[in-house]
Amino acid sequence: MFAIVGILLVFGAVIGGFLMEKGHIEVLIQPAELLILGGAAIGTLLAANPMHILKGILAGLKGVLGGSPFGKARYLSTLKMMYQFLNKVRKEGLLSVEMDVEKPGESAIFKNYPEFLKDHHARDFVCDTLRMAITGGVEPFDMDQMMELDMEVHHHDATQPIGALSTVADALPGLGIVAAVLGVVITMGALGGPPEEIGHKVAAALVGTFLGILMCYGVVGPLSSNMAKTAEDHNSYLHVLRVLLLSFLKGSAPMIAIEMGRRAIPAHVRPSFDEMEKGCKNQPAAAEPAAA
């Protein structure tokens, strides 16, 4: 939501300032310049990236416009889910959750948390780790290395679409110059004509440069930066799961493991201990002492 508001504010401020100085908005509407700039930008994106990165860009942009899903509510939901799951393991043993891990979509616990099931990276991260724990014979140190490697691979894949979009953003000013140069070429061919026609062609040429710079620094660049922050949010989410699982695999009680995970949550979305305890054990949070 904030991404949409920011983009609208950019265009509103730029066009508003232009109109305040008695500019004519129709001068900025140059379909040929838009075709050159937009077509060249999309062409460079298609030429430089394979299909899976293009799909990643579309998914990343959709996520940016929808806002980050990793807020306090998501973390509280995850802590509650993992508390229920680890409690089952503690009471009934690792083999009791074998079917939950093999078929998470049919799990009596996981199916109550659709946002976790939809996040296939986090779902597979948890299930693959627990699958190795059920198999046995793997030390917690080796499990930690597996989880770290999984996170590194996922983070690398998540940053590739961001790098591709950043490259397009960096290319937009240059493509705007290309559109402007073509406009100048057309203008040179019209020398000797009416001054109004020459002025219109010069203005059209300059619009190409204007659009290239505006789209670079006002739209595509900020969207790329926002995608990078979303990728970091997801990596932080996986880190919480890693800390939580590793603590349990080392022998900690479920509540201790959940508290270890809570401490790893970024501060701006970290729930309090009372909120976590209320969510996990369905107990009311402790009342605050009355003011003297």
Domain boundaries defined on the chain: 51-171+225-281
Task: Report whether pLDDT(275) > 70.
Answer: yes
Residue 188's pLDDT band, with cuts at 50, 70 and 90, is confident
Residue 103: burial class (beta carbons within 10 Å; 0-12, 13-18, 19+): exposed
pLDDT tens digits, one per residue of 36-53: 999 999 999 999 999 999
pLDDT tens digits, one per residue of 144-186: 999 999 999 999 999 999 999 999 999 999 999 998 888 888 8
Average pLDDT of the segment spanning 201-212: 87
Query: Which range is least confidently modeled, 197-201, 215-219, 271-275?
Result: 197-201
Average pLDDT of the segment spanning 86-107: 90
Tokens of 128: 């693959």
Mean pLDDT for the chain overall: 88
- What is the four-CA torsion angle of 236, 237, 243, 248, rounded to 10 degrees? 180
**pLDDT at position 292:** 34
Question: How many Å apart are CA 20 and CA 76, to the nearest integer?
Answer: 49
pLDDT tens digits, one per residue of 49-84: 999 999 999 988 888 877 788 999 999 999 999 999
CA distances from 159 to 54, 55, 148, 152 (A): 12, 13, 16, 11
Tokens of 227: 């995608």
Q: What is the pTM of this model?
A: 0.85
Query: Which range is least confidently modeled, 24-33, 35-44, 137-146, 249-258?
Result: 24-33
Average pLDDT of the segment spanning 232-257: 94
Task: Report whether pLDDT(285) > 70.
Answer: no
Return the SS3 of 72. Answer: helix
Query: Which range is least confidently modeled, 32-36, 118-122, 156-160, 195-199?
Result: 195-199
Q: What percent of the chain has pLDDT over 70?
A: 96
Residue 284's pLDDT band, with cuts at 50, 70 and 90, is very low
**pLDDT at position 205:** 84
Cα Rg of the chain, angstroms: 27
* Helices (H), ranges, the chain: 2-20, 31-48, 51-66, 72-92, 98-102, 114-118, 120-135, 140-189, 195-215, 221-249, 254-263, 273-281
Average pLDDT of the segment spanning 236-245: 95
8 A C-beta contact, residue 100 and residue 109 = yes
